[in-house]
Structure 1
Amino acid sequence: MKYIVTNEWLANRLNQEEIRIIDCRYYMGDAPRGLKEYIRGHIPGALYFDLEMDLSSPIKEHGGRHPLPNIDEFIEKLSSAGIDKDTVVVAYDSQASSIAARFWWILRYLGHEQVYVLDGGYEKWVESGYPITTDVPIYSRKTFVANLQPHLIATMEDVQRGIKDKSTLLIDSREPKRYLGIAEPIDRIAGHIPGAKNYFWREGLTEDACWKTSIEQEQRFADIPKAQEVIVYCGSGVTACPNVLALTEAGYTNVRLYVGSWSDWISYPENQIAKGKNE
């Protein structure tokens, strides 16, 4: 696979200067837990990036629950982590790669192609007997230069246009009961964006949180033409990222992330809401 690396691959490169490892563990409802777990143990050489503090910006009236981080501030964090255009970056988490995929997507949006997600996450690393440490590394500063890729982002207006002219396939990445509007444990309104199809993000991984193969991803999305323009969303632009990664591995090249996602969509009273399978 193009953007997924194995434990063995990473273990063989732990001491290489051009490798930078990012720990993205985060727990909804218990924000400090990820950092606490990182302090108790992490992959050697890993630095910690927090979903709320590093991979998102403060919530506003619009933009959803996890708006993109301030780009200048994020670039400074990457530079302080010793990351530049030549650095090979590997992200991992304990959330079936959902947060690591968010990190992967942001770096690709910034124009950095050498970014990967560790297959199986932290648990598989530990289960496989690979080393962990409590040492927090310090790296020499480098200069990260962004080359923004705006074609990877979809705005709310892009979604509205796609609905109107039916030129775009909308993928809702949330679990089926949220897509159908049966239950909504997080956002204030239940349902989905009209016309969206449900491809639950977790189905791109096995039960033990390893990524399915490129061929299996192609089979998941077999009813979507490869040339189709696709916009992917979830609740807040996080768990949509594993679907973006899966589509990329399956060979789709015209895939955009609606960063604000459902939580942004419902912040506009004029936007329509659908429920059930056929809306």
Structure 2
Amino acid sequence: MSHLVSVKWLAERLKKNPETAVVIDVRFSLTDAEAGKKAYEKGHIPGAMYLNLNKDLSSPVQEHGGNHPLPDVDDFSTKLGEIGVDRETTVVIYDQHNDMFAARLWWLLQYMGHEKAYVLDGGLDEWSKRGHVITNKIQVPSMKQFKPSPNEDMVIDIDGVKEKIGDSTSILIDSRAKDRYLGKTEPLYKKAGHIPGAKNFFWKDVLAADGFWKTDDELQTHFEKLPKENEIIVSCGSGVSACPNVLALKLAGYENVKLYPGSFSDWISYQENEVETKEE
């Protein structure tokens, strides 16, 4: 089964076997941390739980580690249990559209050993467009116990990234917009540019013109310059917008894919690290 599900699939699943699935709303705005929760309270897919990027899908920001460090495994496991998720639960994650936040939770669940996690293609907009019910009723979840099994092969830290620079068997990609990659603009950080050696693959380019995810074949074409036998390290600003690229690489058939969670914001937290501003 793909890592994506359609609105039709979810609607049928919720109609036939609602007790076997948990739907999670992860809408968020980087400029207003409470906007997603407010939107959820105003209206969401029936039965959906809400998780917040800053509070639930990240741990507190420190001197190093980037702007959205991975959450503590035990804390995140507890949170998953509180919203009714255990290792047998099918989880469907949605955003407003096909945004970066659903992919972040999808990646976290994969990392925690939970493979039955899927992103709703088209998000809440497509659900609403297809005439399905939106509710402001917040359901009380059935408590579960989530037992994690973290896969450390899915992550790489700054020391690992440094070791891989110049290694012909490893490719680092930067998922941010081209102008940020080239250092022409930087709205968030004190330094502009990218990690030396990184190649630019803007995360939104994995979406088709209609806003849906590209097909597996289209994604293979999109990433065709990346040999499948190579290790692909995916970065961005803080480990969030990199996640759609990780998901897309998986859809395209890449197996050896790692996330650098700290990404550029972690890299520049070390004064001695150089940044590059030319195309690579």
Report TM bin, short chain.
Answer: over 0.9
Aligned partners of 1:179 and 1:191 also within 8 Å: yes
Match of 2:158 in 1: 156
- Alignment of structure 1 residues 147-186 onto 2, 5 Å: 147-186=149-188
Match of 2:75 in 1: 73
Aligned partners of 2:47 and 2:138 also within 8 Å: yes
Structure 1 segments unaligned to the other structure (5+ residues):
none
Q: Could you tell me which amino acid in structure 2 is paired with residue 8 of structure 1?
A: K
Match of 1:45 among 44, 47, 50: 47
* Alignment deviations for residues 22-71 of structure 1 (CA, whole Å, 9 cap, x no partner): 00000111111111110110001100000011001111000000001121
TM-score by length of 2: 0.97
Match of 1:84 in 2: 86
Match of 1:11 in 2: 11
**Residue 108 of structure 2 is aligned to residue 106 of structure 1:** yes
The SS at the match of 1:12 is helix
Q: After TM superposition, give the deviation of residue 206 of structure 1 in Å.
A: 2.1
* Alignment deviations for residues 191-213 of structure 1 (CA, whole Å, 9 cap, x no partner): 11111110000000123431111
* Alignment deviations for residues 112-162 of structure 1 (CA, whole Å, 9 cap, x no partner): 000000001111111121111111111221111111100000100111011
The SS at the match of 2:139 is coil
Match of 2:199 in 1: 197
Q: After TM superposition, give the deviation of residue 166 of structure 1 in Å.
A: 3.5
Match of 2:147 in 1: 145
Match of 1:116 in 2: 118
Match of 2:95 among 93, 96, 113: 93
How far apart, in 2, do the equivalents of 1:54 and 1:129 lie? 30
Match of 1:134 in 2: 136
How far apart, in 1, do the equivalents of 2:14 and 2:133 lie? 10
Mean Cα deviation higher: 119-128 or 158-167: 158-167
How far apart, in 2, do the equivalents of 1:157 and 1:168 lie? 14
Structure 2 segments unaligned to the other structure (5+ residues):
none
Q: Could you tell me which amino acid in structure 2 is paired with residue 205 of structure 1?
A: L
Aligned partners of 1:120 and 1:208 also within 8 Å: no
Aligned partners of 1:5 and 1:118 also within 8 Å: yes
How far apart, in 1, do the equivalents of 2:243 and 2:207 lie? 13
Q: After TM superposition, give the deviation of residue 222 of structure 1 in Å.
A: 0.6
Identity over the aligned pairs, expressed in percent? 50
How far apart, in 1, do the equivalents of 2:212 and 2:47 lie? 22
How far apart, in 2, do the equivalents of 1:265 and 1:2 lie? 33
Q: Could you tell me which amino acid in structure 2 is paired with residue 83 of structure 1?
A: V
Match of 1:258 in 2: 260
* Alignment deviations for residues 211-242 of structure 1 (CA, whole Å, 9 cap, x no partner): 11101110000111111101000000000000
How far apart, in 1, do the equivalents of 2:276 and 2:27 lie? 33
How far apart, in 1, do the equivalents of 2:44 and 2:80 lie? 19
How far apart, in 2, do the equivalents of 1:232 and 1:82 lie? 30
**Pairs aligned (count):** 278
How far apart, in 1, do the equivalents of 2:202 and 2:105 lie? 20
Match of 1:237 among 236, 239, 243: 239
Aligned partners of 1:121 and 1:209 also within 8 Å: no
